[in-house]
């Protein structure tokens, strides 16, 4: 997939920005606070219908404006041209997405059609933060690969909210008849079983991608890092066995909910399900979250994103757009060069940086690879 151009109107500090991208590396250069990350945010709306950075659409609306619009022109790997438009209005608050001039009835229907992989400083929590960050990583990847997974995940969150509301109300108002919560419990187990089954399969498939990606950026000359072996392990949010089928997952979750019924009523919250899943990341069997060095955290995070790109490309039969936000700032020259070499072979990318030193002198800037500068929300091609 190639993003040939995007127009931003009243988006963050971009009052009116038009950028025409090259098919290879696009370096977006500028000081902090000038609008580099905002440009990547706008691109993320094309693939995910939302920002990877902001909590809400209202947060990215230009100060004093009543609406923002985005207009993107995209070519698929098969050569099919598409136009994606996003519009958000403050009052009445609402967002719409149009593909080739047709407004989409469901925003979710757009996710996965224009795949995108994003790495920004905020994603450091995937390796160093809590389980919710790793669950989010799984969800973003799988939702772009399989529409059925996205539908199940959305329904699961809806049912979970309602079930938790019933349990919470029970703490305030006293015991409630089992018939009140049973339909929600059955639905939660059904969706949760399918989600857990797909997540477990994903982790098993994804492990090889991560190992290959890790090796592709290590070792560096003079470092003894070639012996490092990363791995992933899935921990389900309810008891299962390795051979449990998809149908069995639903039964196991239903049993887990039944066994914790009284405890849930005492605490007012759902205590079993994929919302309590975890992915354990290790290097040579040692837990990454608590014991990895800063360099190892950075390296395995980059490896996860390279693996995400390759996994998504194979399953979608479409090269995702790669967005890298300030990834070279904390890397030494050698490590940055290795990651850049891998990026060069991955297709189109948009990379933000304060200057072009990380790119070295080996990239030929021109039609295939372009540089841009951003200052005060104004983006221009660099000389």
For the chain, the domains span 1-115+321-383, 126-317
**Residue 338: per-residue pLDDT:** 84
Task: Determine how many CB atoms are found less than 10 A away from the CB of residue 213.
Answer: 24
Whole-number Å distance between alpha carbons of 366 and 161: 51
**Residue 221: per-residue pLDDT:** 45
**Residue 54: per-residue pLDDT:** 81
**Residue 248: per-residue pLDDT:** 95
Q: What is the pTM of this model?
A: 0.93
How many angstroms separate the Cα of 379 from the Cα of each of 21, 22, 276, 347? 12, 15, 43, 22
- Assign domain 126-317 to its CATH superfamily: RecF/RecN/SMC, N-terminal domain (1.20.1050.90)
- Assign domain 1-115+321-383 to its CATH superfamily: P-loop containing nucleotide triphosphate hydrolases (3.40.50.300)
pLDDT in tens, the chain (383 residues): 999 999 999 999 999 999 999 999 999 999 999 999 999 999 999 999 999 988 899 999 999 999 999 999 999 999 999 999 999 999 998 999 999 999 999 999 999 999 999 999 989 999 999 999 999 999 999 999 999 999 999 999 999 999 999 999 998 888 888 899 999 999 999 999 999 999 999 999 999 999 999 998 876 544 545 578 999 999 999 999 988 999 999 999 999 999 999 999 999 999 999 999 999 999 999 999 999 888 889 889 999 999 999 999 999 999 999 999 998 877 777 777 888 888 888 889 999 999 888 787 778 888 899 999 999 999 999 87
Do domains 1-115+321-383 and 126-317 share one topology? The answer is: no
Whole-number Å distance between alpha carbons of 84 and 45: 10
**Residue 224: per-residue pLDDT:** 47
């Amino acid at each position: 997939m190639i993003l040939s151009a995007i127009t931003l109107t009243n988006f963050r500090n971009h009052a009116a920005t038009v950028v025409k991208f090259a098919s290879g590396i696009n370096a977006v250069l500028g000081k902090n606070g000038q609008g580099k990350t905002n440009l990547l945010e706008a691109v993320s709306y094309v693939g995910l219908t939302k920002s990877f950075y902001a909590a809400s659409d209202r947060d990215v609306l230009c100060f004093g404006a009543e609406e923002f619009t985005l207009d993107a022109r995209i070519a698929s790997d098969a050569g099919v041209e598409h136009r994606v438009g996003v519009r958000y209005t403050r009052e009445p608050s609402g967002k719409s997405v149009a593909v080739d001039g047709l407004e989409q009835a469901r925003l979710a229907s757009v996710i996965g059609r224009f795949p995108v992989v994003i790495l920004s400083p905020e994603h450091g929590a995937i390796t160093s933060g809590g389980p919710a960050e790793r669950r989010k990583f799984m969800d973003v990847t799988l939702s772009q690969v399989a529409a059925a997974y996205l539908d199940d995940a959305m329904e699961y969150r809806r049912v979970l909210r309602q079930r938790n509301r019933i349990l919470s109300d029970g703490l305030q108002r006293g015991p409630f008849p089992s018939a009140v919560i049973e339909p929600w419990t059955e639905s939660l187990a059904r969706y949760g079983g399918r989600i857990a089954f797909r997540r477990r399969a994903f982790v098993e498939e994804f492990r090889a991608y991560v190992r290959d990606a890790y090796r592709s950026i290590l070792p560096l000359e003079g470092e003894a890092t070639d012996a490092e072996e990363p791995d992933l392990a899935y921990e389900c949010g309810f008891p299962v066995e390795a051979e449990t089928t998809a149908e069995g997952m639903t039964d196991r979750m239903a049993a887990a909910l039944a066994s914790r019924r009284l405890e849930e009523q005492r605490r007012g919250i759902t205590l079993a399900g994929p919302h309590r899943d975890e992915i354990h990341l290790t290097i040579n069997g040692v837990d990454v979250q608590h014991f990895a060095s800063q360099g190892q955290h950075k390296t395995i995070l980059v490896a996860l994103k390279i693996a995400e790109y390759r996994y998504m490309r194979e399953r979608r039969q479409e090269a995702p757009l790669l967005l890298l936000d300030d990834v070279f700032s904390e890397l030494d020259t050698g490590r940055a060069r290795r990651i850049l070499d891998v990026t060069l072979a991955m297709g189109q990318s948009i990379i933000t940086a304060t200057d072009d030193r990380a790119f070295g002198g080996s990239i030929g800037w021109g039609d295939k690879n372009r540089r841009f500068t951003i200052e005060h929300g104004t983006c221009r091609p660099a000389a």
